[in-house]
A and B are shown apart, each in its own frame.
Chain A
Amino acid sequence: MAKTRTYQKEESKEEKRARRREWFAHWGKTMKFGFYCLTHPLDGFWKLTHEHRGSYAAANTILFLAIFTRIIKLKYTSFLFLNVYWEDVNIFLYIASILFPLSLWVVGNWALTTLFDGKGRLGDVYMGTCYGMLPYPVIQLPLMIVSNFVTIEEGQFYSVLSVLSLVWCLILIICGMGQIHAYSAGKTILFTIASIAAVLVMIFLLMIFFSMVTQGIGYFISLGRELMYRM
């Protein structure tokens, strides 16, 4: 059989540039749609997946922004509000503190809802959750800058706004989840709780898995060592 090779058609520079411009335009539009979702959670999250108004690129950008905010905040928030013991800081733990719950939630939620006629696919749940995290960078980044220009008496707003950013994220993620799967309000709440339970079960299983693996490896290592002594 003769080998067939398909060559991609060589793009001209112009075409490449146009394609890139188009991609950026789409990215910009979908990013902008995230801000629409901030204030219109129900309407926004419905359109996000069902009318394809969101993109993975934008979702990844928001996720990156959230992680970036979480890390940069440590350094540039005024010491009046946030003191960091740098000797104990592990940047990977900070990254994992967002990525790990996110992945558990996405998988857990999708695994449950797909059994109970949820309309969203795995990617949709991921996109919706990432879009729901937008209030975190949107509030925390300016807050971080402002924190350097106030005294501690004037800083009462800091904790209020900090909590607000998290509560807002929570509301958006729950609303978004309901809209993506086209659930009623009651069903949304039920499946939020069920997803959290699923996350806990997954954590439990992971812990068992890792402890079993360590014990298993330890068994074979000691077996090997024993054999070496005997020989």
Chain B
Amino acid sequence: MKNKIVRLVTTAAVMLGVGLSSFTSVKAGEDNYTYVYDYWEDVQDSPDAYTVARVFDFGALGLDRNLMAPESLYVNGSKVYLCDTGNNRILLFDRPSSDELILEKEIKGIKGAEPETFNAPSDVSVDEEGYIYIADRENHRILKADQDLNYVMEFTRPSDQAIDAGMDFKPDKIVADTAGRIYCEASGINKGLLKFENDGVFSGFVGATRVSYNFTDYLWKRFASQEQRAQMTSFVPTEYDNLYLDREGFIYAVSGGLKEEDLKNETVDAVRKLNMMGSDILVRNGDYPVFGDLYWGGGGGITGPSYFKDVTVLDNDIYICLDQNRGRLFGYDDQGRMVYAFGGNGNQAGYFRKPVSIEHMDNDLLVLDQQDCTVTLFIPTHYGQLIYDAMAHFDVGEYDEAQACWEEVKMLNGNYSLAYIGIGRSLLRKGQYRESMDYFEVKYDDENYSRAYAQYRKQWIREHIITIILILVVLAVIPLTIGKIFALKEEIDNADIFKLRRRQENQTE
């Protein structure tokens, strides 16, 4: 009896232990701060490409009053503009040294404008001549001011039918190009970016996003009545979330909030690079699409794809997208291959609660968190700097230096596809085709491999042309001679003399 109880208790304990251990193992999944995806879309941990230099809260920024729902950062030279949307002011900072932001000016209005003060300013842009453009959202206008903040002109609601009658013009994000034209993303408008000429005339929409539709929905719609159709969701393009004008004058536009199935089917783009005509010219040569995380599981209670809220483009054409969903930053190179991904949701330095805006100053990154009301300053680590150096060397044709940098990156991160491909491309440019092929093969870069192989094959044939011809000649000659020999043998066999002798031999037998 006692024995039985003991046995029961031990089994219960063992079962409880098994149950507990399975609970704890769920929690054990600890993810690294920085990672990339490899060719097989497996997560590969990576050394940190960026490190937090400083987190600026309102004390560090030197403010008398905390920020309230800030929406945007804008960097111009060493100046940083911060739209403190909730407090209806724009803050201008200077960055004299690496980890300092000194408040220079608090802009509360533009002299000569009507009204002078802002109402929910949501974005700032500065053109080459130094004119400041301010998206003054709740005043339904975009203000243009000179350096001394005197009113110059304003861009208001387009007068034609471009915007639906019942809808207000609410400029959200703006960029000003070199000619003083304004590209504006306004809330509630999904026809693309509004383009204003420098004289304030609205000249049309640019770069509407692709419309994706579900085929079964489409079929249903064909058979539905007018009333039923009105009930259904209509196929409309999604709004952009933000835009950035790169140094060449191309506009990078991101849209978050895309549907999972559309992203999976690649019928929508999270990031687009628009040329002057408004068509998308983003290069997508990566092993997977440019939409941030590939796995959308519910880690930490967060589901769904990455929500790209903002984008910034470094001078070496690496663009960094800010994911509001998981608080991560995704860097892509000019070929659309992921360079690094890092960040997360949380309260530590380098983690975010609701990041809304990203800007860069050289290779340093500034990220604005709307909920924490902080600005986080990231500076590249040795590893990150090596990647940038390698790309810079490669772009100017210093292939030896580029290769050396990539070799060092490879030493730091042996799982990094870009390092192998970078070494391969340097070797390819230097004419070492055979060696470069190995590097491309390791990381499954078929296009570069083919390029190298075509050259290598040409070279090989040129070097071995004599051997090849000799072999061909031999191959042609051997069957001929064999045929000749057989013919000769037959002729000899059938010659009269031998026939005679054979007959004689038979007779003697």
Contact = CB atoms under 8 A, between A and B. Distances in A.
Interface in B449-490: 449-451, 453-454, 457
A79 B444 contact: yes
Contacts of B8: 229
Interface in A58-93: 79-80, 83, 85
A85 B450 CA distance: 21
A151 B40 contact: no
A229 B11 CA distance: 10
B199 interface: no
Contacts of B39: 83
A85 B447 contact: no
B40 A80 contact: no
B48 interface: no
Contacts of B4: 229
B106 interface: no
A79 B40 contact: no
Nearest to B454: A151
Interface in B1-52: 4, 7-8, 39-40
Given A79-B441, A229-B8, A152 B447 contact: yes
B261 interface: no
B446 A79 contact: yes
Contacts of A79: 441, 444, 446, 449
A152 B437 CA distance: 13
Looking at chain B's contact residues, the main secondary structure is: helix
A151 B446 CA distance: 8
Given A85-B40, A229-B8, A151 B450 contact: yes
Contacts of B450: 80, 151-153
A83 B39 CA distance: 10
Nearest to A152: B450
Interface in A183-206: none
23 contacts: A79-B441, A79-B444, A79-B446, A79-B449, A80-B446, A80-B449, A80-B450, A83-B39, A83-B444, A85-B40, A149-B457, A151-B450, A151-B451, A151-B453, A151-B454, A152-B446, A152-B447, A152-B449, A152-B450, A153-B450, A229-B4, A229-B7, A229-B8
Contacts of A152: 446-447, 449-450
Contacts of A151: 450-451, 453-454
A227 to B, nearest CB: 13
Contacts of A85: 40
A77 to B, nearest CB: 13
B314 to A, nearest CB: 31
Contacts of B454: 151
Nearest to B442: A79
Contacts of B446: 79-80, 152
Q: B7, B8, B451, B453 — which one has the most chain A CB atoms within 10 A of its CB?
A: B453
B446 to A, nearest CB: 5
Given A83-B444, A151-B454, 12 more contacts: A79-B441, A79-B449, A80-B446, A83-B39, A85-B40, A151-B450, A151-B451, A151-B453, A153-B450, A229-B4, A229-B7, A229-B8
